[in-house]
Structure 1
Amino acid sequence: MIEGVRERARLPTWLFALVFTTFAFATDDYVIAGVLPAISGDLGVSEAAGGQLVTVFSLAFALAAPVASVVSATWSRRGLLTWALALFVAANWAAAGTTSYAVLMGLRALAALAAAAVVPAAYAIATSLAPEGRQGRYLALVMGGLTGSLMLGVPIGTWVGGAFGWQATFGLGGLLGLVALVWIRVTLPVLPRAQAMPVRERLAPLGRPQVLLGLLGIVAIVLGSMMLMTYLAPFLRDLAGAGPAELGWVFAAAGLAGLAGGQLGGRAADRWGADRALIAGVAGFTGVMAVFTVCWLLRPLALLALLPLLLVWAGVSWWIPPPAQTRLLALAGPAGPQALALNSSAVYVGVSGGGALGGLVLESHGSGWLPAAAALVELVALGLFWTASRLRA
């Protein structure tokens, strides 16, 4: 116990700056779900069209991340983070002042380009500066900024948007980016410039069919989860009459449940094996989606009565990624590090696909069909991993 406290006390300040940086970017991406109805109403577009703000951010990130990692490989890390965070701040503050849907889409793409440069670099810095034997812990802390955004950043951003308008939410995103920029500049040490990795070597894992199927499985897993997450506001409004204030509490509770689910999923992958843990997670997700579909038939329901189900949904959604990534590592074999480098892009392709496909379902059939469609996509993901395992065997 005492050793754990001492270890946390010795953690360097620059590490917390990197955690806050990933927290700021993830908050900026996910918070759209909480203010989606307000954005759509003010800009005169449908909620399905408003959801494409998530799609464009995630798709731009997915496409730019591998390119940014190659192009900026020999750049100064402090310089890269400084200029990218400055672009992020400018894009968010400009978004707070626009009244054009098209301009807002472009600004979201610029913010995503900044994220694509910073987030992979933050992971690399954490592992390169970590003491021997602590690389995993440092990396886990930096990645924890993503989950922390769901527990704290998204609820705060949603409440701010409900109280002061959605423009204030983007203003808050720019402020978070500014704090991250200053914190990085003050605490991050000067790092030696790295040698560039050849593009062919970085993309080599895509030449293996089982790895490609594994990456597609990651895409499908995230896509299925984000179909409901992106349009949670209209879904809970239609199901339980929930407004922005209630959504803030829902996101906070869901973030906490997701953090617990991710830890349990990782332990299950270690104890049961990745395959069994993955099957259990997808089965749990599919079951929750089936219950949501039944609830839709019984609407309207009290939000408080739905809270346990929402917590289980968040838990199983975050349970699935650890065993899925463990399975991807096994499929990649010696190419595991390169496959995981592409994993970030696969995740954001899934996020963008979730916004796009979920928008189509919402526009054509209504929010009540989102759970069933999400469950179907998760089952497809399970089939992709099964096929990849068969190819490897």
Structure 2
Amino acid sequence: MPFIRRPRGGLRLAALALTAFALQTDDFVIVGVLPSIAHDLSVGEAEAGQLVTVFSVICAVIAPVAAVATASWSRRRLLTGGMLVFCAANLAVPFAASYPALMALRVLAALAAAVVLPTVFAVTAALSAPERQGRDLATVMAGLTGAVVAGVPLGTWVGAALGWRATFVTGGLLGLAALAFLRAAVPDTAPPPSAGLGERLSPLARPAVLCVLLAAVAAVLGNLMIQTYLAPFLDGVAGVTPSGLGGLLVLTGIAGIAGGRLSGSLVDRFGPVRTFALAVAAFTAAMAGLAVAWSLRPAHLAFVLPLLLVWSAAAWAVPPPVQTRVLALAGAETGPQALALSSSAVYVGASLGAGLGGWLLGTAGPGSLPVAAAACALGALGMFGLAGRGTSRSVPENGLGAARNRGANV
């Protein structure tokens, strides 16, 4: 009966989207509470930012390995076990009295995320009808978008009101809610056909695909330099407080959604190369403006806010051309493996961005971050161009729909 099946499908997608939301929020929520963590644990903000680096490195390295190691496991058991570990790692944060203890818990949470998030997307695809697969993936991937629009600002506000440890406790409680929803609404699915690690890495043997993936690494690297250390940069340039940062993150998240949607339309109309170039141009212009604002500090928020909106829209405009071109260059046979590698590329870029951004913050100060980010974006454009001009636009609709809507992390 159609009227019964639709709600069940809707609940299933909502549960999977909430899980993606919880995991993605946990990855980036440190952005809003970074100064508080650094102050309370008596470390520098650059050192505190390495919590993001470690999380991203683990996700990049472990995700493909975990996919091979757990290939024969029940998907339901994998989701349940992974979310229990994730929740425990977050709920234990109030007991972390030192930086090493907090780092250990972040490693544990990252291991869980590296297992659960790819499984969420695999289960979504497995339970979707072929004609709805792209739309269902887009619905679940909206959880990643929502993490930036709602999750990170919420965590920032909770941290400002109750302390940064409460931010992670909230993340653990959100994870428990997602787990309960998963158990109630998502049935088990058969494990996917097993594939060895060599097969999963096979797209890297194609120079054009490798160039696009390196372009994604460089683009995310530049973006995460700014995103990870946004709190100290905005405090220095315009005196933005933690509570004010939460509101700004909401606005930049909305701008990011708009940028991603516009980018998808531009890819259809003008192709991925022109769209990527436009995104890089807008990102570079925003970084130039932020560098000027730093040189004129204290700058008025009315001058800084439009630059932040352009930055976010441009950063979120990167995934559609990257994913579309990866699919086209990899072809139908290795397209899924190439998309999985693009997720790893995002985490590699994120880890490098947080790490190098922290080094710049400590050696050259916050004002160096937008300059370095712009240089990374221009490097990404060069690598994207090296992939050649012969990108095919005959990409399967489901693959393209998934590509456009995944990877809010880019």
TM-score normalised by structure 1 residue count? 0.95
In the TM superposition, what are the counterparts of 1:123-134 in structure 2 within 5 Å?
123-134=121-132
Moved more, 8-17 or 184-193: 8-17
Equivalent-residue separation in structure 2 for 1:55 and 1:97 (angstroms): 22
CA distance in 1, matches of 2:132, 2:338: 22
Q: CA deviation at 1:193?
A: 3.2
Match of 2:52 among 51, 54, 61: 54
Aligned twin of 1:155? 153
C-alpha distance in 2 between matches for 1:117 and 1:310: 33
> Is the counterpart of residue 26 in structure 1 residue 53 in structure 2?
no
Q: 1:366 corresponds to which residue?
A: 365
What's the counterpart of residue 326 of structure 1?
324
61, 67, 70: which one pairs with 1:69? Answer: 67
CA RMSD for the aligned pairs? 1.7
2:275 equivalent in structure 1: 277
Alpha-carbon distance between aligned partners in 2 of 1:265 and 1:11, rounded to the nearest angstrom: 28
Q: How far apart, in 2, do the equivalents of 1:62 and 1:103 lie?
A: 22
1:3 equivalent in structure 2: none
Quick one: distance in 2 between partners of 1:7 and 1:38? 47
Deviation string, structure 1 residues 197-244 (Cα, Å, up to 9, x no partner): 222221111112222222111111111111100000000000011111
Cα deviation per residue 1:7-39 (whole Å; 9 max; x = unaligned)?
986742111000000100111111100000000
CA deviations on 1:232-280 (whole Å, 9 max, x unpaired) are 0000000011111000001111111101110111111111111000101
TM alignment of 1:108-147, pairs within 5 A: 108-147=106-145
1:100 matched residue in structure 2: 98
The one-letter amino acid paired with 1:337 is P
Asked if 1 retains the 8 angstrom alpha-carbon contact of 2:126 and 2:189, the reply is no
* Inter-partner Cα distance in structure 2 for 1:122 and 1:185: 13
Q: Kindly provide the amino acid, as one letter, of the partner of residue 156 in structure 1.
A: L
2:227 paired residue number: 229
Superposed, which structure 2 residues align to 1:312-323 within 5 Å? Answer: 312-323=310-321
- Equivalent-residue separation in structure 2 for 1:8 and 1:53 (angstroms): 41
Q: 2-side partners of 1:229 and 1:96: how far apart?
A: 25
Q: Which sits farther off after the overlay, 277-286 or 6-15?
A: 6-15
Contact 1:210 1:391 in 2 (8 A): no
* 2-structure distance, mates of 1:339, 1:273: 19
The 10-residue stretch of structure 1 (99-108 or 29-38) with the greater mean CA deviation from structure 2: 99-108
Q: Give the counterpart of 1:45 among 43, 46, 56.
A: 43
CA deviations on 1:257-305 (whole Å, 9 max, x unpaired) are 1011101111111111110001011011001111111111111023244
In structure 2, what is the Cα distance between the partners aligned to 1:270 and 1:370? Answer: 33
Structure 2's unaligned 5+ residue stretches are 393-410
Q: Which runs of structure 2 are paired with 1:328-347 in the superposition (5 Å)? A: 328-334=326-332, 335-347=334-346
Whichever residue aligns with residue 366 of structure 2, its letter is: S
**Aligned counterparts of 1:300 and 1:309: Cα–Cα separation in 2:** 15
Change in 2 beyond 3 A, CA 1:225/1:67: same
Please state how far the C-alpha of 1:51 moved relative to its aligned partner: 0.4
Q: 1:11 to 1:153 in 2, by over 3 A?
A: same
| TM-score calculated relative to the size of structure 2 | 0.91
| Identical-residue share of aligned pairs (%) | 54
One-letter amino acid of the counterpart of residue 352, structure 1: S
CA contact (8 A) 1:210 1:392 kept: no
Q: How many residues align?
A: 388
Letter in 2 for 1:235: F
Q: Which runs of 5+ in 1 are unaligned?
A: 1-5
How far off is 1:316 after superposition?
Answer: 0.8
Q: Secondary structure at the match of 1:389?
A: coil
Q: CA deviation at 1:327?
A: 1.7
Q: Give the partner amino acid of 1:264.
A: L
Deviations 1:153-172 (A, max 9, x none): 11110000001110101101
